[in-house]
Amino acid sequence: MVDVGAKAVTERVAVASGIVRMKPATAKLINAGKVAKGDVVATARIAGILAAKRTGELIPLCHPLPIDFVDVRLSVDERGGRVSLEAEARIRARTGVEMEALTAVSVAALTIYDMCKAVDRGMVIEDVCLVRKSGGRSGDWKREDA
């Protein structure tokens, strides 16, 4: 791991996003709460939060961090056949929480796929990316096409 011991402790925030594309009928099932495996939105949200908390165990050389806050927000678009995901992570530490936000979105998206694959194996997880981050030596950053 990179030695971050000499870095200053600062407030750090990271926001990541992603999309799960699917048939409109699948999105309608999710919104109606009629997916056989249960409440897709609630389960994906919790899966993403848990994943953010365990990022240091999942990604080699990633620092295990005591996250102060993490949230995963999902929005279902029935007509467009998609679920949009956004994760935000915050911490006061010597290193950033970009990987935690990205891991949260990724695992939440995988959870949606797992819960809905019986009705729609053609789903696609796409556009997982860092949207913005703040804090630390490199300062603030925002995706230009966001």
Measure the CA–CA gap between 107 and 39, rounded to whole angstroms. Answer: 16
- Whether residue 39 lies in the annotated active site: no
CA-to-CA dists, residue 142 to 15, 67, 93, angstroms: 9, 21, 20
Closest to 43 measured CA to CA, from 96, 100, 114, 99: 114
CA-to-CA dists, residue 35 to 32, 52, 109, 115, 120, angstroms: 8, 25, 15, 7, 11
| Catalytic option among 68, 77, 114, 127 | 114
C-alpha 94: how far from chain center? 21
Q: Would you please indicate which residues are annotated as catalytic (active-site) residues?
A: 114
